[in-house]
Chains A and B, each alone.
Chain A
């Protein structure tokens, strides 16, 4: 208790605002700038394999991407609200919507809609994965806000997310893990474990056992979707970097309160999918252009990162898009042959990079 007070006064321990450096396998590079651009649209997200091709969402539409000489994109389905997550197995496609419900298209449960699990409404479906044709793992990001209000959920420090296992044939659901801080990504990895990326706590946990086990903690970025590769590794997308100033602001309650009530969300000092285009965005000293150049290591609210990690939590490789770049906000990625396809939600592009690089 006394040590706690000392920590609070000194700004150390639990109250420390330091952020780990991106080093080792996470050392910064510009490889994302060299990735191929497959498609350009407004905030693409939610890449998933379905019916032999990659599918992703833009706004309230689900689109199919056919790779070939020239990548072709065609619309598959449209919905009332924006699509927030996609999952697929065989001919079934599960679509999560901004309005809160999950819809199943195709297969045995075509037309089914899930809007309640256990004791609560599905307010924010942000990630999903079919375990088999009739079992769906569903991650709800928050019980306070819909997915589009993720920034408010982060800055308030909420941890009201949960992961459920839903039996589609009986409709029964089982709570796998509660009080999660925005479980943004979920996947089954080799060995049978269920990895979930807990964004606001910047860590990846394994919830397959009774007590959740932390796979890797204290990440220097906020993890988004994760995807298991055929080689037994896991792709981890980072949609924004952690900043020391944001960590500091999260601990300044009065300032936070006034910022969230007086200032529009796009001008908050908070992680963002893209940044640097508006003069009124919050600015940090290290961003000042020296001799006309914005240094790539300057503090930035948005960043582009795709990393490969083994199932023990050690990072192997990574590709980055640094400060001042356009390909920020990498939210989802899938393996496609020898390539990795990913969505840059902040840059508005679907990109492809060689698998051995990332």
Chain B
């Protein structure tokens, strides 16, 4: 291998490019942007202002953060549901006034004052909720109206009664504690904010109410059609916002004790800016508590630093307005392009070095030479089958196959003319196998491993494995179960083709050529599933060998078959059996003479072999070229081989590519070969003149059964 190739291979092996891209799929990655902005602002102002990092300055910032944070938290929940709450400024002011009045005017205990503030906030929030949620008025206008009314009430109250609350006779230690105290060094308001943030996060992500809020914000019509209670959910959001604003007002009263009329003026803009700056989408549906807190942190930082720099209040509002504009613009662009960007960067191809392509030319007379051995196949179920990826017989001569619509299809002996749907499972049914009792075991991609009994009942055997410790992507779900086989003791070994893509994206996984696949084992009695082998490159066919101690697994893109010992003295060992095949290995099945049949999805081409060594080319192709035009191996060639236990190729049979393109499975039964293809609309059958006419796979696995002849199924 050239030096450039060695370098390329090392780069792709050691740089976890795909894991970095998997990070981008995480829902919390949106928060990375405001977090970076925060760090940037922190750094900038820390450099500009000399006394930025003093304890006093940070502590004061932290206390203001508590108040603004509560406002932003409430606003965030309202935005999340698709609305907007402009009245929080006046709720804040009114709650502040009410708390001071309760304490200094009516001499009530501190906790009662807190309750008064909260109840007032909640009541005004309820008014908002009824107006917007239940009477379906426009959020902007009705909350604006509440803002104006609340503001005028606050002004007149402050005018008439404000002076009488100025004398503070003291004795409100608890109240002062709320304003100036600390818990473990953290200011009380900030600590309460963090507690509220965690609770809100829990509410939004782990409770159905939170999911309903996000659903209503994501698409109100769809949520309504899904039967969610849209009105009450929206009303709840406004109540929540009012409660948060009430809490913020109380904390402000504890810190400053100012019953003036200008308290809370303009705070709705601050809260809105903070919510948007944190990355909550203005249209609704996407947002989190951490984003709200981050956003309020950034806003407080900017305001305080601008004030410390000597700018007047008009200038700070100007800067805030600009920042809001930028945040809205970025939000809109990001919402539009997010899924596009993610789709573009997710596919991360890696380097693969193929062995020299074996010749298939008839002139070269190798074992793989092109021939017309399969030109005389007769079709079964022509035009009536859709995607018969695998074929199997039960002990009573019935033929079972699968379909692309998730059915188990059965054809009856002796002529196998009319297919009937034996059972419907869903997803796409792929590999199929029978156990000793003629119970069908089938891999359903998109769903997992299923069993269908003689009475047609469908039972799920397994759809998850323990999540691997260091995987960024959640690989506990079995996304793409492909083929299976059953060991003598009943354990089911099955291949999970890729953990990084779903079935409809199989072409993208082929571009990657990464070891995204696994071999799993499931105990049908207990349902416990474990991972046996990892990092297999598109594992496809699985076949338990005649010795009952090992199984063969085909890896499609590397064009090879390996043997894994699952029992016996060599348990746990993995060895290569056949390498450097001229095509892409699919399913493996036993043959009547103690060897194994292997079907091929397609043949290797020289240009595709070259592309395997150039992952940058494949990555750019995935991003810039339509998926229909991607360079691929030749999937229109129908090809199968027979190989021995030692890996020697004994026979090679070709179809002209007209009838059996993308041949996925070969099943030998009573001297005939049955060919199944995942994109085909028929099963092909051809007679093998030299094969044992009484041999069946069923007997080979489970022992001789008396041959009753064709029977009606009970």
Contact = CB atoms under 8 A, between A and B. Distances in A.
B479 interface: no
B606 A280 contact: yes
Contacts of B635: 283, 287-289
21 contacts: A11-B620, A17-B625, A252-B620, A263-B607, A264-B606, A267-B606, A269-B607, A269-B631, A281-B605, A282-B607, A283-B632, A283-B634, A283-B635, A284-B630, A284-B632, A285-B627, A288-B636, A288-B661, A289-B661, A291-B681, A292-B659
Interface string B620-651: 11011111111111111100000000000000
B636 A282 contact: no
The 5 lowest CB-CB distance pairs between A and B, nearest first, are A286-B628, A291-B681, A289-B661, A282-B607, A283-B634
A283 B632 CA distance: 5
Given A244-B629, A245-B630, A285 B606 contact: no
A86 to B, nearest CB: 35
Interface in B588-635: 602-603, 605-608, 610-611, 614, 617, 620-621, 623-635
A255 interface: yes
A267 B628 contact: no
Interface in B382-400: 383, 386
B636 A283 contact: yes
Given A285-B632, A292-B658, A279 B603 contact: yes
Contacts of A258: 610, 614
A73 to B, nearest CB: 32
A34 interface: no
A280 B617 contact: no
A291 B381 CA distance: 12
A244 B608 CA distance: 17
A11 B624 contact: yes
Contacts of A288: 632, 635-636, 661-662, 679
Interface string B5-28: 000000000000000000000000
A269 B625 CA distance: 14
A170 interface: no
A288 B680 CA distance: 10
B657 A284 contact: no
A177 interface: no
B370 A279 contact: yes
B343 to A, nearest CB: 14
B679 A289 contact: yes
Contacts of A262: 606, 610
Nearest to B662: A288
A281 B659 CA distance: 19
A248 B625 contact: yes
Given A267-B605, A289-B679, A248 B633 contact: no
Given A245-B629, A292-B658, A292-B661, A283 B623 contact: no
Nearest to B681: A291
B682 interface: yes
Nearest to A16: B624
B507 interface: yes
A259 interface: yes
B679 A290 contact: yes
A243 interface: yes
Contacts of B623: 11
Interface string A291-327: 1101000010000000000000000000000000000
A268 interface: yes
Contact of A292 (B603, B620, B681): B681
Contact of A299 (B386, B507, B629): B629
A74 interface: no
B356 to A, nearest CB: 12
Contact of A283 (B608, B617, B658): B608
A254 interface: yes
B360 interface: yes
Nearest to B637: A279
B657 A289 contact: yes
Given A11-B623, A244-B629, A286-B628, 4 more contacts: A245-B630, A267-B606, A281-B605, A290-B679
A281 B621 CA distance: 19
A248 B610 contact: no
A13 to B, nearest CB: 13
Given A244-B625, A282-B631, A252 B608 contact: no
Interface in B181-218: none
Nearest to B658: A292
